[in-house]
Amino acid sequence: MELSHRGPEFGGILHDAEHDLRDLLRVPDNYRVIFCQEGASGHWNMIPLNLLQGKNNADYVETGYWSYRAIEEGRRYCNVNIAASNRIDNFCALPEFSDWQLNPQAAYVHYCSNETIDGLEFNWVPDTGNVPLVVDMSSHFLSRTIEISRFGLIYAGAQKNIGPAGLSIVIVRDDLLKPPAPGTPFLMDYQGQAHAHSMLNTPPTFTIWVAGLVFKWIKRQGGLSAMEAHNVRKSDLLYGYLDQSSFYRNRVKPGDRSRMNVPFHLKEPSLDEVFLKDADAHGLTQLRGHRVAGGMRASIYNAMPCEGVDALVAFMKDFERRHG
Ligand code: PMP
């Protein structure tokens, strides 16, 4: 934590972190990797400031809480066309691509590929033709293989599968790096950050160091395809149990369910607090659903071992037996 960010030691840490990340994701040479201090939320402003390029329209897809937050910020800068929304379905299923109303003149299309609170995940990548595809991958980044070249810009906050909070990562295609809108704060200029190798100011050195260790750890696990198999196994186990139980319920359409975030409700909500307290006593913590969703949520990111999900399912079975 005391290393100078301009010194050779930290230079090596930053270089290795970027190198390992590129290796894991097979990032093509025409994409730049930027380490930013803003959380994922900061990009809701940086994206329009950098990518509108004088245009006044952008497409946004609404699939849950986090994509909606991006829409609200996008509206500060341009006319937001909601190209698709599943609000009418109560955020229980992703909107079919054939129903998306994309504007071919839009500056970009923004969506969130894993809705952390609602528990939906895209297993497919929308084809937006020549309009750059911009994606918030915060809560499933590095949990599965992806094809970077399908995207114009990918961003992800660190505090799920990357490392401690205080960092976000952007992977952006070269041709989208242009001078931002007049008045853009210099730290929010993607082109400036890319040119300065993420060092327009002091980067979050400790967080980048930990992220670099995580990238090496993922490589040792066998890379992203091994990570994906691990996450499929955990989520299949949990959803499999939820689906055969009439005591618990997950309301998301099976093909659209997140492998990372599994929200569930008890049929009898008055038992929620008993469930949480009892789970806590069994060492099963952090299961309370997000304040906007209620109920429970098991976030089973990369670092959660299979044994963690085994233990949760065993506890849930026992709780059902005692209270069902
Ligand atoms: N997008 C998604 C998908 C998220 O899950 C979160 C945080 N949980 C955010 C954006 C906001 O991230 P931050 O708090 O780092 O700004």
Taking only the tens place, the pLDDT of each residue in 163-215 is 999 999 999 999 999 999 999 999 999 999 999 999 999 999 999 999 999 99
pLDDT at 296: 97
Mean pLDDT confidence for 231-235:
98
pLDDT of residue 34: 98
pLDDT tens, position by position, 242-259:
999 999 999 999 999 999
List the residue whose alpha carbon is closest to atom 14 of ligand 1.
39
Q: How far is the CA of 248 from the centre of ligand 1 (A)?
A: 27
Closest atom of ligand 1 to CA, residue 42: 16
Please state the rounded mean pLDDT for residues 80-92.
Answer: 96
| Assessment of whether the complete model's pTM goes beyond 0.85 | yes
Q: In angstroms, what is the span from residue 159 Cα to ligand 1's centroid?
A: 9
Q: Domain coordinates of the chain in residue numbers?
A: 8-221, 223-323
| Average pLDDT in the chain | 97
Catalytic residues: 66, 136, 160
Nearest CA to ligand 1 atom 10: 40
* Ligand 1, pocket residues at CB < 6 Å: 39-41, 66, 112, 116, 136, 138-139, 157
- Find out if CATH 3.40.640.10 is the number for domain 8-221: yes
Position 1 pLDDT exceeds 90 = no
Query: Domain spanning 223-323 has what CATH number?
Result: 3.90.1150.10
Residue with CA at minimum distance from ligand 1 atom 15:
39
| Alpha-carbon torsion, ordered 165, 171, 174, 178, to 10 deg | -40
pLDDT in tens, 263-295: 999 999 999 999 999 999 999 999 999 998 899
pLDDT band at 324 (very low <50, low <70, confident <90, very high): confident
Mutate to test the pocket of ligand 1, among 41, 71, 258 (most ligand atoms within 8 A of CB): 41
- What spacing in Å lies between the alpha carbon of 47 and ligand 1's midpoint? 15
pLDDT single digits (tens) 286-321: 999 999 889 999 999 999 999 999 999 999 999 999
Q: What's the rounded Cα separation, in Å, for the pair 52 and 247?
A: 48
- Tokens 């090496």 belong to residue: 216
Residue 108: is its pLDDT beyond 90? yes
Cβ contact 177:31 at 8 Å:
no
